[in-house]
Amino acid sequence: MSMAAMKGDTAFQARSLFRSLIRQSRQFAAYNFREYAKRRTRDAFREHRGEVEERRIQELIQKGLKELQMMKRQTVVSQFYQLDRLVVEGGKTGKQSGSEGGIARVKDTGWD
């Protein structure tokens, strides 16, 4: 296999890993975890953008694959603990009340 073909294959692996990590980070239920995972992924790839040593690149890809597996486990766990959407996430939040179908923040109190 030529060196150019190996380099192209490595670039494909890195792009594929990046897309998988970003896609998986969108699966977190909590906004802060979602944003942290996306930011951490982008920062890690930017940090190692200039790597040229093939062995080091393969080590980084293997580390990224381990991170992806960990993220998959964490997103499953995060689905069990979903909270209300935050204001910064956009969209309507709160519980429905009123005759017009509007959304109003209703605080649950007591055991009614």
3-state helix, strand, coil in the chain (%, to 5): 60, 5, 35
Instruction: Find tokens 């209703």 and name the residue.
Output: 106
3-class secondary-structure state, position 104: strand
**Rounded CA separation 106/10 (Å):** 52
In terms of residues, how long is the chain?
112
Low-confidence ranges of the chain (pLDDT < 70): 1-7, 91-112
Query: Tell me: the pLDDT tens digits for 33-43?
Result: 999 999 999 99
Q: Are 51 and 57 in contact (CB under 8 A)?
A: yes
- This prediction has a pTM of 0.70
